[in-house]
Amino acid sequence: MPESLSPREIECVRLAGMGLEDKEIAARLGISPRTVGNHLHRAYVKLEVSDRRLAARRLSNGYSGEPILIPETAEDGLVDAASAEQSDDDGPVVRSAWSLPAPPRGVGARLAVIVAGAAVALLLAIGIVTAGMVVPSLFDRIAPEWAR
């Protein structure tokens, strides 16, 4: 096994393995996001890996008896059935061709998605109302005299 990790590096890798971003890990541990990045970088070097998913898996296998459940995604973006079976959820594994992206994590990102969705809905409503006002007048112009 490579060099041993410090307790803080272990904490950072575990939280990163649970899918948290550096900002979220920093908020939980009361340190800066840059410090989290430094801890993760040192842990990657010690664990001889290149990303948080591999680091969490290596940490899970080599440092404790408790696994960190990280579902594996296939190349098509779907969750691998074998890794999905590791979870405590006994529900059926549902594979779908429709893969949705993960929801954005920050408040600002979520707010941006909501505002963008509202803007699209507003533009769509304006288009429908405009079409409802313009189309009848077009039909009046092209309709024959006897049909008016």
Residue 77: partners with Cβ closer than 8 Å, 6 or more residues away: 99
Cα–Cα dist 107/116, whole Å: 14
Residue 1 DSSP SS3: coil
Cα–Cα dist 37/29, whole Å: 13
Q: What is the mean pLDDT of the chain?
A: 77
Residue (of 118, 80, 120) closest to 99 by Cα position? 80
Cα–Cα dist 43/51, whole Å: 10
Compute, in degrees rounded to 10, the torsion defined by CA atoms 129, 132, 138, 140: -140
* Neighbouring C-alpha atoms within 13 Å toward the C-beta of 58: 21
Q: What is the pLDDT of residue 33?
A: 93
Which region among 26-35, 73-82, 101-110, 132-141 has the lowest average model confidence (pLDDT)?
A: 73-82
The crossing angle, in degrees rounded to 10, of helices 33-47 and 52-63 is: 60
Q: What is the pLDDT of residue 96?
A: 54
| 27: amino acid identity, one letter | A
- pLDDT tens by residue, 65-100: 454 555 555 555 554 444 444 444 444 445 556 666
Cα–Cα dist 134/131, whole Å: 5
97 and 90 Cβ atoms separated by less than 8 Å: no
Query: pTM for this one?
Result: 0.43
**Comparison of pLDDT for 72 and 130, the residue scoring more:** 130
Q: Check whether 104 has a pLDDT greater than 50.
A: yes
Q: Residues 109-118: contacts with CB within 8 Å, 24+ apart?
A: none
